[in-house]
């Protein structure tokens, strides 16, 4: 049976790249998923799986999301009432937090309790933004099934200056070392988020997206 994957268009995100990556993951996994880039809350509310991308400043992304009438309510319905698999990417992951602290205090969705604050590496030689390829220190999660992690694992692509510090350690699935541990992936129930960009992370990213398309939380 074909499933609809709704990638939310709210004016912020690598929508073309994300859609192409999901389409490729669908083909390579032999699945029958229809990828829909949409700004229609009704489509999001009815989707089988939902993806919230995001690039740029936290407050700008939150304003963009709120500017689409009914979108936050549609996301709530899909993720919480219908328990559909939900994936946030980069700032889309950060918006799952309680609040963002980038320049001003901005309320988040509150799905993964915690704050999004500036990265402060212990090594002053490390530049901000954190940008480039890194391996993951990860625990067990269905979205990481079959993906080599650890020092010899596959690499994920990061570009960010702020990171989510979750209130509950068990919500953090993976971290990256950048002058200390930085949250790379969070998950709770049917909701997950990656700070890195799966659509730009080649083998690791395609494997993670395929796992998301098959995920039955």
Which of the residues are catalytic? Answer: 90, 197, 199
H runs (alpha helix) in the chain: 15-28, 41-46, 58-66, 71-76, 91-94, 202-214
User: How many residues make up the chain in this entry?
Assistant: 217
3-state secondary structure of 4: strand
Please identify which residue in the block is written with the tokens 């002058």: 179
Asked whether the beta carbons of 195 and 157 are under 8 A apart, the reply is: no
Q: Identify the CA nearest to 63 among candidates 35, 15, 104.
A: 104
Taking residue 216's Cβ as centre, other Cβ atoms within 10 Å add up to: 6
Please identify which residue in the block is written with the tokens 């940008």: 131
3-state secondary structure of 135: coil
Q: Which uninterrupted H or E stretch holds 34?
A: strand 33-38
Taking residue 60's Cβ as centre, other Cβ atoms within 10 Å add up to: 16
175 - beta bridge partners?
137, 183
Taking residue 15's Cβ as centre, other Cβ atoms within 10 Å add up to: 19
| Strand-strand pairing, 172-177 and 3-8 | unpaired
């Amino acid at each position: 049976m074909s499933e609809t994957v709704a990638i939310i268009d709210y004016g912020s995100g690598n929508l073309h790249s994300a859609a192409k990556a999901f389409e490729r993951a669908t083909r390579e996994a032999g699945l029958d998923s229809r990828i829909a880039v949409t700004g229609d809350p009704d489509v999001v509310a009815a989707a089988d799986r939902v993806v919230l991308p995001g690039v740029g400043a936290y407050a700008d992304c939150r304003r963009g999301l709120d500017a689409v009438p009914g979108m936050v309510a549609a996301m709530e319905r899909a993720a919480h009432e219908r328990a559909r698999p939900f994936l946030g990417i980069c700032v889309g992951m950060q918006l799952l937090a309680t609040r963002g602290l980038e320049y001003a205090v901005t309320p988040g969705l509150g799905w993964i309790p915690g704050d999004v604050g500036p990265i402060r590496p212990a090594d002053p030689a490390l530049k901000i933004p954190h940008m480039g390829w890194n391996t993951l220190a990860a625990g067990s999660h269905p979205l990481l099934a079959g993906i080599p992690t650890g020092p010899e694992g596959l690499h994920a692509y990061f570009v960010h200056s702020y990171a989510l510090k979750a209130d509950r350690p068990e919500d953090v699935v993976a971290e990256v070392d950048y002058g200390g541990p930085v949250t790379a992936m969070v998950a709770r129930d049917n909701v997950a988020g990656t700070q890195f960009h799966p659509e730009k992370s080649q083998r690791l990213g395609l494997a993670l997206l395929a796992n998301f398309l098959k995920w039955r939380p």
